[in-house]
Structure 1
């Protein structure tokens, strides 16, 4: 019998090539191990055995020997799954057919699964190895509801796809890159989480000994005690409703570790909407739990320059591929988009979400356009994949409101016994509404304050108000027209001036609202949703050091925001305030009413994800994996990143980019020096000659005058050049 191989080396005698049997057995074993976490070990095993079964052909051996002819090796295994595993075998056909190119759409059109199963040509001499013949009929490991059967089957298929692709990557890596594979070796999760719990306990004991006997510290201790007590409750949905200053970061971590250890869960996943909060929380967690135990996964991660940090950066890069770490801190975008993705690179991590504690920090920030599919995914994780989900926020959304949400979360347990009392105890601000202000009047008010933060809804207004302020030291602007490293430097300067009691006036967009550690005595906020106003209030008297309440002043702008969702938030906030004239506008009662009104709309599934997945199921099990992945995007991707090379480090990286054969790693580092611009603005910059396209694909701002050191990128002056910049 001919010997078949999965992977080759440079040795022509094939003595150290990986045999196909070895690879199939290795992948089957790993995939079964991964899938057994949610009761689907046999599914994982079968997927592993069949995924490369089509390589058992002389044509693939010739391919490994150097033949340029490509060999379709995935369709054969997909057909075997369809034919030998019963009605649900088609789900494995999706997984096997897509393990390289991504989960396909079902259907009879070219490139779709059912067309491929019927029409794809495969080598005539493919041999079904004996190990691949033992793939019996499979059954789902749990019951699914009839009205959401399509969604549940698609979700399950992605989970099996994750098990297979991760197992395939890892087994291939162990053969082709053994040194890299060894770097992944980690101790058992159970032992690690127990150790991390002990580290946190030790840290908290130290804080308690050092803490002054103040009212705030007493309240924080009570919140922590309630979190630890609730950790023994059965897994499910929880809410942690704690106002700013209540210490919810460490309290939520304490709940998560205690709960994971008590229930044998595998990891802690923090999903956070803003990278500014991710960086802050990851730094706190790493300082307590050890850097090697906390993986920070987001697009703005900045690799460290210190030699001692290089090992962490390597480990972080590896663990980010599949979230194989005790604690993962990531973005809402990364978390939710991965749950609806179809590519192996995005789905590979999914199986490691099972058996986890998931903390949704700032839970109200889930985009309303995708709220229903997001809630459906959370329900799947809790009901079928043994997860616990914690909704952690100071502005708790009404995600259990069955009157307005078809996918309302069931049986949410509030961790805090009397959250209304807690809000009264930690009240630090007074919110007032003053009507309409022109930009000039607003600037006059800001100029009269020594330390003040003003938050507006749009970048043009932020720039316009900033220009009205007195031109003197201590006046700052913040918006996403500034690249991340620039914003970080400005925030650092602002914090230092606030701490030193120096004059500090800041005009910003909403990027400072959630989780950015600033503490002003006075905050102005343009009218917005009540959750945004509450987040703005969290930047006022944050540490409770003022002798009186901090002042939060809400004003109307002359020109309302044009974005429909912003307008709706403002409308619903106004309706809430009219309905509850005597309520605290950022208190729990007003917030609950606001979210009930906000969610009482049809567009909580703008792309009709639920409709497309829950069509009446036929025996063909036609599921639109690729279509859903392309449509489920929190951020509509019509923006383009423009590199700004004003700093020396950016200039070095740009030089590397010009000559790099593998630009991806350089581009990741350059994200710290990149501004995202709309398609219209990008074409305007191109038209005025302000951009250079490196290798015809990487935009670099070539006109330094178009980037102002105070306000960032100014598209409107892209055609205005400093004469010195035109001289080489």
Structure 2
């Protein structure tokens, strides 16, 4: 018998004992599982602990231990080889231990343990490929690695793991037997996997197991302390009410209507058996606060049943995340709570790497782990982060998957989900919500038929609010296409009104700006060819009423809280037109006008056809044709007509093929295999053209940041270099735009990034219109 106090003298990382890391990861899984629904805890508890306690056992070889020691001496790369790998060796051990922890007829659980341990440093692949990727050279490697394990050290390690809950003790002799018969095991498993039935249950189970393991693994290495993952108790069901009371909103018909909608949603009975809710209100009706209030009330109801769901608030656009996160912060403060990172967390790919728990600010590497793991009660994030946590094969995306269990997911501006994915989202969201004991609330002014015939539960009487409002008149002037020049002549801005012109391409917006600027009214321009810092400054100036005329691309369409008397919109799908209309007379003052025109280039091609799906445009044209004017009260009816038409005409083949991939656990495919769709084919945003990022050295702040960026090359080690960049990444990207890769005016490339210095601004950047393309074909969008 080995004395428990003895150390194996084996290490998982340079300063972390192997047994401590494996046991630490297992303890973190305990913490993660404790907040999951009981069926999930019962199903995953045993096998998740096997995965945690065995996932790095292959690091016990002298090859890996020598490799770690070499890291301290700066000679690590010289020893790195296949012999220092550990995932396959660990996966075989984990698979066989898992077999002893489950019913003998359960072949899937051990297989899933094998897959997640095998891929815990990489990405998931097609489960059938996983069962086929075992060659003679792998067999030879495993035996070589086994021979390089010191028996006494391994015995001490195993004693400690068994004491921590591993179901069996095993030694080198046992492992040799496992390796010898593993090929036969894989053949047996392939027969079972081929007979898997439909449904996403297997996908959810495998994702959960993978997510738990990789989150526990990364978190233990960087943080180690389980206290960092303690939940924060919040009593938030009255937060929004307190905030509204303290805001002292002025009396007005619009505010009265907003409060009526808020009160109606607040009084809506909560049915815990209903998983999908909808908040469908016209633009400017306070959906953000109403949605948050309902989510907090639902959380309080669930909390009374010893269940504390996280609230995940997802938006499609980075441009409005900061805006809405700030609103939430003010809501929390109004009730005397501290909106620290454990309570409210903002996460997107440009998030500041800062995590403060109310007492301590974590080091950047620790903060990154906590932020990317969604360790907070309310998470404000992007559609990209959320949907790739749901549908992906990638390690960095799926790490968050287990946070979706026991969650309340708010999907704001849900109409931006591509129509081709409606069926996919319906299946995944409903099944995940039911399986993981979660809830979904969609929030939109233009509700798509996302859930088909299975309508969600509506929080308010949407028809009442749409029919009551009469703020704007929509004028479809689409009988004949016109040029940008003709638009400038026909729709000249008048001094007594404010105007927003929205274009489909950067080129057409610039052309119009050049024509209208001569009128002499205060005018500004917005597009993604203006760096985010300057763009946001202009939006703030617009909010203060500094400009009479704004010329913009579609970036102002949803969520940007700006208001105009007149909106002129180049032709677009009806849901986009409706969002544009939301920038007109938001507060119910003087009647607003929203005019839709069809703009064409000098060759007679419409700009809309370059940007949008033809089916969506034809459906819009059909709905708007023969209508001279449309009141706001009619919007809901024509939107219903439009979405019904779209649902019949847009193919859901891509959705169905990804659903099939989900059911078959086809996470990825072999390079060159284009016949089968895989989960990795899911793409939320399709690139319209190849792009290159360009840093614009716009001011002194930009110059300092660029200098910091250039100094990164002095940091030779990849991880400290990345950590340093993370510390100023958010500020760096305030000066980055994207331009076409084939732009004739492409600036010098530094690494993979274009660079426009302050000295060369005149050649590449116009202070009013942004990047100088020197190509006025008007094909670039946004």
For residues 584 and 367 of structure 1, what CA distance do their matches in structure 2 show? 27
Q: 1:565 to 1:6 in 2, by over 3 A?
A: farther
Q: What is aligned with 2:563?
A: 519
The Cα RMSD (Å) is 3.3
Matches within 5 A, 1:352-363: 352-363=403-414
Describe the shift of the 1:613–1:18 C-alpha distance in structure 2 as closer, same or farther (beyond 3 A): same
| Cα pair distance change 1:414/1:582, threshold 3 Å | farther
Q: CA deviation at 1:444?
A: 2.6
Q: TM-score, normalised by structure 1?
A: 0.83
Match of 1:149 among 194, 198, 202: 198
| Aligned match for 2:51, one of 37, 41, 47 | 47
CA separation of 1:135/1:253 partners in 2, compared to 1, >3 Å: closer, same or farther?
farther
Question: Residue in 1 aligned with 2:208?
Answer: 159
Q: Paired residue for 1:711?
A: 769
In structure 2, the CA distance between the partners of 1:332 and 1:303, relative to structure 1 (3 Å rule), is same
The alignment status of 1:395 with 2:446, answered yes or no, reads yes
Of 248, 252, 255, 2:294 maps to 255
Could you tell me which residue of structure 2 aligns to residue 565 of structure 1? 612
- The offset of 1:217, in angstroms, is 2.5
1:527-676 correspondence to structure 2 within 5 Å:
527-546=571-590, 549-558=591-600, 559-560=605-606, 561-563=608-610, 565-578=612-625, 587-601=635-649, 603-606=651-654, 609-610=657-658, 613=661, 623-624=667-668, 628=678, 630-636=680-686, 638-660=690-712, 661=715, 662=721, 664-665=725-726, 666-676=728-738
Which residue does the alignment assign to 1:280? 323
Offset at residue 282 of structure 1 (A): 0.5
Q: Which string of whole-angstrom CA distances, capped at 9 and with x for unpartnered residues, describes residues 532-590 of structure 1? A: 111111110011122xx211111111331333734332211122335999975862221
- Counterpart mapping for 1:70-469 below 5 A: 70=81, 71-83=84-96, 84-85=98-99, 86-88=106-108, 89-108=110-129, 112=130, 114-116=132-134, 120=138, 121-122=141-142, 123-125=145-147, 126=149, 129=158, 131=161, 134=167, 149=198, 151-175=200-224, 184=228, 186=230, 188-189=231-232, 191-192=233-234, 194=235, 196-207=236-247, 210-230=248-268, 232-234=270-272, 235-263=274-302, 264-289=307-332, 290-292=338-340, 293-301=343-351, 311=361, 317-402=368-453, 410-416=454-460, 418-435=461-478, 436-450=481-495, 451-469=498-516
Report the 3-state secondary structure (helix = DSSP H, G, I; strand = E; otherwise coil) of the residue aligned with 1:197: coil
1:64–1:571 Cα change, 3 Å: same
CA distance in 2, matches of 1:701, 1:535: 34
Distance in 1, matches of 2:655 and 2:291, equals 33
Shift of 1:301: 4.2
Structure 1 residues 294-328: Cα deviation after superposition (integer angstroms, max 9, x where no partner): 21112344689xxx999599686453210111111
* Partner SS for 2:584: coil
Structure 1 residue 265, shift from structure 2 partner: 3.6
What CA distance in whole angstroms lies between the structure 2 residues aligned with 1:456 and 1:81? 57
Distance of aligned partners of 1:154 and 1:42 in 2 relative to their CA distance in 1, 3 Å threshold: same
TM-score by length of 2: 0.78
Q: Deviations over 1:177-197 (max 9, x none)?
A: x7xx87x455x34x22x2x33
SS at match of 1:715: coil
Are the aligned partners of 2:475 and 2:594 in contact in 1 as well (CA < 8 Å)? yes
Q: Are the counterparts in 2 of residues 395 and 531 from structure 1 also a CA contact under 8 Å?
A: yes
Secondary structure (helix, strand or coil) at the match of 2:549 reads strand
Aligned with residue 691 of structure 1, among 748, 760, 770: 748
Aligned partner (choices 536, 540, 543) of residue 492 of structure 1: 540
Deviations 1:109-160, CA, capped at 9 Å, x for gaps? xxx5631487522312455835465179xxxxxxxxx997364423332222
Q: Which segment is superposed worse, 74-83 or 457-466?
A: 74-83
Distance 1:87 1:309, change over 3 A: closer
Displacement of 1:29 in angstroms is 2.5
Question: Partner of 1:680: helix, strand, or coil?
Answer: coil
Contact 1:525/1:553 (CA < 8 Å) preserved in 2? yes
Tell me the matched-pair count.
662
Structure 1: any 5+ residue segments left out of the alignment?
Answer: 10-16, 137-145, 403-409, 719-728
Q: Distance in 1 between matches of 2:379 and 2:8?
A: 42
Of 22, 35, 44, the match for 2:20:
22
Contact 1:692 1:701 in 2 (8 A): no
Per-residue deviation, 1:200: 3.2
Distance 1:636 1:554, change over 3 A: closer
Q: Deviations over 1:223-280 (max 9, x none)?
A: 1122222362215000101112221111111001110111134211111011222121
Contact 1:447 1:470 in 2 (8 A): no
Deviates most, 42-51 or 93-102: 42-51
Summarize the Cα distance change of 1:118–1:356 in structure 2 as closer, same or farther, 3 Å threshold.
farther
1:199–1:316 CA distance, 2 compared to 1 (3 A): farther
1:562–1:213 Cα change, 3 Å: closer
Partners of 2:575 and 2:488 lie apart in 1 by 25
Question: Greater shift after overlay, 465-474 or 251-260?
Answer: 465-474
Q: Distance in 2 between matches of 1:476 and 1:312?
A: 41
CA distance in 1 between partners of 2:168 and 2:289 (Å): 47
SS at match of 1:453: strand
Show CA shifts across 1:21-67 (max 9, x none).
33222212222442451413233222212211222333333333327
Deviations 1:481-523, CA, capped at 9 Å, x for gaps? 111112111112222235xxxx511111111010111110111
Long gaps (5+) in structure 2:
71-75, 100-105, 170-194, 333-337, 671-676, 716-720, 777-782
- Is the aligned partner of 1:509 residue 2:553? yes
**How far is the alpha carbon of 1:476 from its aligned partner?**
1.5
Separation in structure 2 between the aligned mates of residue 257 and residue 478 of structure 1, nearest angstrom: 36
Cα gap change, 1:150/1:173 in structure 2, threshold over 3 Å: closer, same or farther?
Answer: same
Q: Name the CA distance, whole Å, in 2 between partners of 1:602 and 1:554.
A: 23
Q: In 2 relative to 1, CA 219–197 (structure 1 residues): closer, same or farther, beyond 3 Å?
A: same
Residues 35 and 160 in structure 1, CA contact (< 8 A), matched pair in contact too? no
Paired with 1:589 and 1:312, the residues of 2 have a C-alpha distance of: 52
- Distance in 1 separating the partners of 2:695 and 2:359: 25
Distance change >3 Å, CA 685–CA 553, structure 1 → 2: same
Are 2:350 and 2:729, in contact at CA under 8 Å, matched by a contact in 1?
no
97-106 or 536-545, which deviates more: 97-106
Q: Say if 2:476 and 2:629, in contact at 8 Å, map to a contact too.
A: no
